[in-house]
Amino acid sequence: MAVTAQTKLNAEKLRADFPIFDQEIRGKQLAYLDSAVSSHKPRQVLDKLRTFYETQYANVHRGVYTLSEVATAEYEGAREKVARLVNAPEPRELIFTHGATESINLVAYAWGLDNLGPGDVVLVTELEHHSNFVPWQYIAKRTGAAFKAIPLDDNSELQLDSLDELARTGNIKVVANNLVSNALGTINPVERLTAWAHEQGAIMVVDAAQAAPHHEIDVQQLGCDFLAFSSHKMCGPTSVGALWGRAELLESMAPFNLGGHMIRSVKLEETTWGQLPYKFEAGTQPIAEAVGFGAAVDYVTDVGIAAIEEHERELLVYALERLAAVPGFVGYGPPPDRRAGIISFNIEGIHPHDVAQVLDMEGVAIRAGHHCCQPLMSKLGVAATNRASFYLYTIREEIDRLVEGLHKTHKLFGP
Ligand code: 7TS
């Protein structure tokens, strides 16, 4: 991937691109600290969606008429942009899906059902989002494979010294891990895990839903076999995402969804499959959403992913310092140098939903819950946490308002 010098981003200035911040919530400016769940959308992406629908829209790969050709060029252009974002060797290895969840299900079903069986082991981690846990647990059960998880140590870090013991429990066939944890922000050692997975003869599946918006990704450097991510967490529309996979693996796999557009020929006796990527894109795709995803990739790459990561790290250091002074603050997660802009925490003796509700009255939006990471919550010994998460439009003032809101919460509910 080309290394370009990044200028520091100006979040105050970028914020003006996001119309959502023009309104007040409960009579206050919105302090949006929930970008890990979904990000807001800049005018550049919204304008592209409007222009596409108003002047370029038709179904793709269907018509010989000009408008369909224009729409197809836009859709395939978006594929090239998304493929380039992760340094995919070829755009045909980039499948448009409805999001990271569907991307992982595609691999679990289409690869897993034909390649797993008794004696095999599917290995996830205790730090996974349910999207990279439940599909594997289900397919392991259906195929008779064992389902195991790399445990976390007392600091909630992957316990890599357990790998040898896990390898003795059967044939490791799949290792599935997130590159960035949505609950703790941990940047996981995926390159190392990939090398180990390949030594075992396993495929490596990377959930990059939280990584792609905030962290530079190069699938060739990571060495992984599949990588899944969503558009809506990186300034793009909902209902579209991507799966990158190695061409030889994708070619060897059966399709996941079946129907129109994914076939080569259909006869009563037999149907044969189309080429990549169409084999995995049955039916009418989220066409405008994919085009909007391409515009979002343009937007975040213009800002610079490295600059976004640096901005979030500065906010993280600032926030952790200020939060430490809040009475009863208990933080979870690794040190800032191995962490994206995500802070999971509890305030001793106060339920996270109460915390989030008081903050909402102050116009501060955070997430409270298990973050679709129940195995992690069990490990932490809590039912839920609060989570504040940042993005390229996050400013220090929002963190100040979070801190003030927490002081207020403590006064209201604290011991
Ligand atoms: N993997 C990770 C690491 C995620 O954070 C999410 C969504 C997904 C997969 C699923 O992505 P989707 O776009 O298919 O829904 N993360 C969150 C979250 O942090 N809180 O709610 C959803």
Mean pLDDT of 49-55: 98
Q: What is the pLDDT of residues 159-209, one digit of tens each?
A: 999 999 999 999 999 999 999 999 999 999 999 999 999 999 999 999 999
- Residue at 1 is within a domain: no
Residue 350 domain boundaries: 11-32+304-413
Helix (H), strand (E), coil (C) string for the chain: CCCCCCCCCCHHHHHCCCHHHHCEECCEECEECECCCCCCCCHHHHHHHHHHHHHHCCCCCCCCCHHHHHHHHHHHHHHHHHHHHCCCCCHHHEEEECCHHHHHHHHHHHHHHHHCCCCEEEEEECCCCHHHCHHHHHHHHHHCCEEEEECECCCCCECHHHHHHHHCCCEEEEEEEECECCCCCEECCHHHHHHHHHHCCCEEEEECCCCCCCCCCCHHHHCCCEEEEECHHHCCCCCCEEEEECHHHHHHCCCCCCCCCCEEEECCCCEEECCCCHHHCCCCCCHHHHHHHHHHHHHHHHHCHHHHHHHHHHHHHHHHHHHCCCCCEEEECCCHHHECCEEEEEECCECHHHHHHHHHHCCEECEEECCCCHHHHHHHCCCCEEEEECCCCCCHHHHHHHHHHHHHHHHHHCC
**Tokens linked to 345:** 């925490």
Q: Which atom of ligand 1 is nearest to the CA of 128?
A: 3
Mean pLDDT of 281-292: 97
Tell the residue nearest (CA) to atom 17 of ligand 1. Answer: 37
pLDDT score of 382 more than 60: yes
Residue ending a domain, among 271, 301, 331, is 301
Instruction: Judge if 71 and 21 occupy the same domain.
Output: no
- Residue at 38 is within a domain: no
Q: Distance of alpha carbon 77 from its chain centroid, rounded? A: 22
What pLDDT score was predicted for residue 6? 57
Instruction: Judge if 25 and 123 occupy the same domain.
Output: no
Instruction: Judge if 268 and 328 occupy the same domain.
Output: no
Instruction: Judge if 111 and 195 occupy the same domain.
Output: yes
What pLDDT score was predicted for residue 62? 78
Q: Give distance in angstroms: CA of 373 to centre of ligand 1.
A: 10
Identify the CA nearest to 383 among candidates 346, 413, 338: 346
Mean pLDDT of 387-413: 97
pLDDT score of 329 more than 90: yes
Mutate to test the pocket of ligand 1, among 34, 182, 243 (most ligand atoms within 8 A of CB): 182
Name the pLDDT band for 415 (thresholds 50, 70, 90).
confident
Q: Give distance in angstroms: CA of 37 to centre of ligand 1.
A: 6
pTM of this prediction exceeds 0.75: yes
Q: Give distance in angstroms: CA of 208 to centre of ligand 1.
A: 9
Mutate to test the pocket of ligand 1, among 33, 178, 205, 210 (most ligand atoms within 8 A of CB): 210
Residue 153: Cβ within 10 Å count: 12
Q: What is the pLDDT of residues 346-372, one digit of tens each?
A: 999 999 999 999 999 999 999 999 999
Q: Give distance in angstroms: CA of 316 to centre of ligand 1.
A: 20
Instruction: Judge if 246 and 390 occupy the same domain.
Output: no
Instruction: Judge if 16 and 74 occupy the same domain.
Output: no
Rounded Cα gap, residues 38 and 231, in angstroms: 9
Q: Which atom of ligand 1 is nearest to the CA of 387?
A: 19
Indicate which CATH number applies to the domain containing 212.
3.40.640.10
pLDDT more than 70, % of the chain: 99
**Domain tally for the chain?**
2
Cβ(387)–Cβ(366) under 8 Å?
A: yes
- Residue at 4 is within a domain: no
Instruction: Judge if 81 and 204 occupy the same domain.
Output: yes
Indicate which CATH number applies to the domain containing 358.
3.90.1150.10
Residue 6: burial class (beta carbons within 10 Å; 0-12, 13-18, 19+): middle
pLDDT score of 2 more than 50: no
Residue ending a domain, among 301, 316, 343, is 301
Instruction: Judge if 249 and 375 occupy the same domain.
Output: no
Instruction: Judge if 352 and 222 occupy the same domain.
Output: no
Name the pLDDT band for 3 (thresholds 50, 70, 90).
very low
- Residue at 19 is within a domain: yes
Mutate to test the pocket of ligand 1, among 35, 134, 230, 235 (most ligand atoms within 8 A of CB): 230
pLDDT score of 278 more than 80: yes
User: Any catalytic annotation for residue 235?
Assistant: no
- Residue at 75 is within a domain: yes
What pLDDT score was predicted for residue 7? 78
- Residue at 39 is within a domain: no
Q: What is the pLDDT of residues 119-129, one digit of tens each?
A: 999 999 999 99
Instruction: Judge if 28 and 129 occupy the same domain.
Output: no
Instruction: Judge if 271 and 245 occupy the same domain.
Output: yes
- Residue at 40 is within a domain: no
Choice among 224, 235, 372, 373 that is catalytic: 372
Name the pLDDT band for 5 (thresholds 50, 70, 90).
low
Of residues 63 and 207, more confidence is placed in 207
- Residue at 95 is within a domain: yes
Residue ending a domain, among 263, 286, 301, is 301
Instruction: Judge if 287 and 359 occupy the same domain.
Output: no
Residue 10: burial class (beta carbons within 10 Å; 0-12, 13-18, 19+): middle
Least confident interval from 1-10, 77-86, 182-191, 388-397: 1-10
Q: Which residues line ligand 1 (CB under 6 A)?
A: 36-37, 99-101, 129, 131-132, 178, 182, 207, 209-210, 230, 241, 371-372
